[in-house]
Structures are given as structure tokens and as C-alpha cells.
């Protein structure tokens, strides 16, 4: 029999990163590390991470509720609920919630490499380090990800 994972509405591993909450729904353990899935909740008026590029994984974002602003390179795209953004390796990107209500995104990673990034950020904060853009970029570097400015 093949193991199946069912995560209920209150399940998963919740990681609070300042005003952003990441709920890990699939850390790769069920998918042979081919796919990781998280649910991101962005508080109103919240910036996402510094613009960055992944070298080893695709990242997907499905806007479940609210409106998210995706910045891809120099272009900003307004993405209401129902929008899917797929970001291949090498594409510079970030996101933000400029609205007055929370925004919820379903976030995918293929392969699951980047799930550990969120755990590392949690551990960094727990150790007393501030969640600055510089500290975030240092953690990104562990997972074949660099700030987009490194390629400018």
C-alpha cells in the first residue's frame, strides 16, 4: 500500500515569519522530494522577500484570496484571487500584499528544496536574529537562490 498524506485545515507545520505565515502542507516526504507545498498568508501591507532567483527549482503561486502584487524583474503584476503565477529557475521575482485584507497563496516547489528555507528562517528568528533582507538573502543562499541584484 502507498502512503497517502491528508492535511486538514488546521494541520501542517506553521512557521511565523514576522507578518507572514507559512504553513507547510507537503515537505516532500510523501512525494519523494519531487514536490513541496505551502500555504502563505500575507498580512495587509506586507512585503515579501527581497527579489530573488532560484537556480534549482520551479516555484508556483496560486492566489486563494486577496490580491497579491508580483514583481517579476521590473514589471509588477496585480494578481487577484484565482491567479496562478509559475516562476521557472532564473526568473527574478518577489511578491507583496498592498491591500487592506490578508492574502492567501498556495505555494509549490519542484523539487521540494526550498521548504527547508522557511524552517531555517524560523530557527534564525528563534535564535534572536532579526529578519532583515540581508539575513534572508544569506539563508536563501543555502538553497541555490540568490538576490536578483547579484545578476544585475
111: cis peptide before it, omega within 30°?
Answer: yes
CA dist 77 and 55 (Å) reads 22
d(CA 64, CA 39) in angstroms, rounded, equals 9
Print pLDDT tens along the chain (152 aa): 678 999 999 999 999 999 999 999 999 999 999 999 999 999 999 999 999 999 999 999 999 999 999 999 999 999 999 999 999 999 999 999 999 999 999 999 999 989 999 999 999 999 999 999 899 999 999 999 998 875 44
3-state helix, strand, coil in the chain (%, to 5): 20, 40, 40
- Euclidean distance between CA atoms 68 and 46, whole angstroms: 10
Residue 47: alpha-carbon gap to chain centroid: 12
Q: What is the C-alpha to C-alpha distance for residues 31 and 150, in angstroms, rounded to an integer?
A: 32
C-alpha cell at 106: 498556495
- Give the three cell numbers for residue 107: 505555494
Contact at 8 Å (CB) between 91 and 70?
no
The pLDDT value given to residue 3 = 83
- 14-151: CATH class: mainly beta
Residue 149 has a pLDDT of: 76
pLDDT of residue 1: 61
Amino acid at each position: 500500500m502507498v502512503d497517502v498524506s491528508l492535511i486538514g485545515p488546521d494541520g501542517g507545520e506553521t512557521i511565523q515569519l514576522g507578518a507572514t505565515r507559512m504553513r507547510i502542507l507537503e515537505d516532500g516526504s510523501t512525494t519523494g522530494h519531487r514536490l513541496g507545498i505551502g500555504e502563505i498568508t500575507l498580512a495587509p501591507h506586507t512585503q515579501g522577500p527581497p527579489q530573488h532567483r532560484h537556480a534549482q527549482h520551479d516555484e508556483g503561486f496560486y492566489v486563494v484570496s486577496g490580491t497579491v502584487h508580483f514583481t517579476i524583474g521590473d514589471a509588477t503584476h496585480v494578481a487577484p484571487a484565482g491567479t496562478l503565477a509559475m516562476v521557472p529557475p532564473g526568473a527574478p521575482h518577489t511578491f507583496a500584499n498592498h491591500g487592506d485584507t490578508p492574502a492567501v497563496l498556495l505555494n509549490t516547489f519542484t523539487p521540494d528544496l526550498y521548504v527547508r528555507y522557511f524552517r531555517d528562517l524560523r530557527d534564525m528568528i528563534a535564535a534572536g536574529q532579526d529578519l532583515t533582507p540581508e539575513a534572508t538573502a544569506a539563508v536563501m543562499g543555502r538553497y541555490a537562490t540568490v538576490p536578483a541584484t547579484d545578476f544585475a
